[in-house]
Amino acid sequence: MLKELLKAPTVSCRGCSAFQYTELAQYVDSHQEEYVEALRDWVAVESDSSNVLKRSELNRMMEMVAQKLRQMGGTVELVDVGEQELPDGSTLALPKVATAQFGSDPNKRTVCVYGHVDVQPAKLEDGWATEPYNLTDINGNLYGRGASDNKAPVLAWIHAVAAYQALSMELPVNVKFLIEGMEETGSNGLDAMILAQRDTFFSDVDYIIISDCGWLSRRPALTYGTRGNCYFYAEVEGPKQDLHSGVYGGAVIEPMIDLIGILDTLISPSGKILIPGIREAVAPLSDEEWKMYQDIQFDMDNYRNKVGVSQLMYNNKVDLLAHLWRYPTVSIHGIEGAFSDPGTKTVIPAKVTAKFSIRQVPNMDPAAVKKQVTDYLHSVFAKRKSPNKLKVTMVIGAKPWLADTQHALYEAGKAAVKRVFQMDPDLIREGGTIPVARTFQDVTGKSIIMMPIGGFDDGLHSQNEKISRYNYIEGTKLFIAYLNEVSQITIQV
């Protein structure tokens, strides 16, 4: 088979085909209000995957995705990916995953675009300036939950394909879509689906494109790496019930004090992880990486002001970016069982559970991290000689992902950015975790690129999430241009 005999891909023959970019870009500009209304319809759906009471909304969202793809003439399927078990032991059907295909020319490259349409929770009383599920245009920014993460990018890809169709232009590559509805809660069922369809849906896919990330600055970016995530529960249990601190304080060894004591041993005030074996597994920063970070457009003062702090952990760009992208971090997220309501309550909690995570990087293995953290916390706890019981559980073990920036996919990405934005992109890594990237890489063996269109200030997962109209519309043009650039990737024999 020819593909089995071929070697590394390269990009060649740029501009030799009659790519009508100007006509396509003009079409996008003339239909931007239609695109905004499509986003408004999608944002209006409260597709919160963390709330089982919103599951009907999430299912409706997946039906809307499928319907939009069907209206464009795609071969569309809603794939059943099973059930999830709820805390009370009952089960609930997972939202189906939408797949679609446009074109099946064996002489063309085939790309698969991944995205998700579920969102983080949002309520007006959380501090939103506008209703989170009512897309609101303020000074060119489109505010709404899920606007940037990830509904606008998914729509931009759909509109990119639709633009070719509307102008009766042949798609330069075959395009497949895989759109899910559980990304924000761990992509339940997706890994098994990808494995099950490795030799069917993915058999003719050459490249996978993910646009579930953002730029670092006002300069467009291509993303080539993400950190993984090991998420832990540390539970300390003591008396059989909550106790009155006036009656029992001083008589019992309190679980909360034990818990805070062991949490304090995870990381130093300067950010140094104290768990043996974690830092030792990290590859050193190479001279080439240092130069890449040094060349990236990044304003430390703007970043600090945006975060709203007086001081950052590091005072130079390279150190800060390195610790955001390619070094592990420990974050403590909360304590379940502790009194947190307004007012006062003199209670000694009987059982408290800390929730913390370690963002992991290449060369770190989740199984090894689980053992290192568990062994370390138990050893620290043992030194306290407490009668209370400690239980450590790792509930997420997502691996990091790293791509080769010299791959032709990235050369094609640079060319597309140059065409649309008249500038070179930053090559960046992402501090967060997109587990499906590593799954795609491990299961399918396909090459992957992350091509963001979200802005650096979009406020993902936060109050007042938005995407700018500029990024949404120009991002659609970027995807149009990228499909053409990918079609010109040739294989060297």
User: For residue 285, is pLDDT > 70?
Assistant: yes
Are 435 and 399 in contact by the 8 Å Cβ rule? The answer is yes
**Mean pLDDT over all residues of the chain?**
94
**Residue of higher predicted confidence among 1 and 174:** 174
118 included as an active-site residue: yes
Instruction: Tell me if 402 sits within 8 A of 362, measured CB to CB.
Output: yes
Between 308 and 42, the more confident residue is 42
**Residue-level pLDDT at 2:** 36
Indicate whether 477 pLDDT > 80.
yes
pLDDT > 60? residue 467: yes
Of 48, 183, 235, 254, the active-site residue reads 183
**pLDDT at residue 221 in the model:** 97
* Band (482; pLDDT cuts 50, 70, 90): very high
Q: DSSP secondary structure string, 171-183? A: PSSEEEEEEES-G
SS3 164: helix
Model pLDDT for residues 107-156, shown as the tens digit of each residue: 999 999 999 999 999 999 999 999 999 999 999 999 999 999 999 999 99
Domains contained in the chain, CATH given: 21-226+400-488 (3.40.630.10), 228-282+327-398 (3.30.70.360)
Q: Residue 491's pLDDT is what?
A: 63
| Whether 433 contacts 398, CB under 8 Å | yes
List C-alpha distances in Å: 457 to 159, 212, 217, 472, 475: 24, 15, 8, 14, 16
User: Which of 46, 48, 57, 118 is an active site residue?
Assistant: 118
- pLDDT at position 12 is 47
Q: For this structure, is 183 an active site residue?
A: yes
Residue-wise pLDDT for 421-439, tens only, equals: 999 999 999 998 888 999 9
Please compute the mean of the pLDDT values over residues 166-190 and round it to a whole number: 95
d(CA 100, CA 76): 4
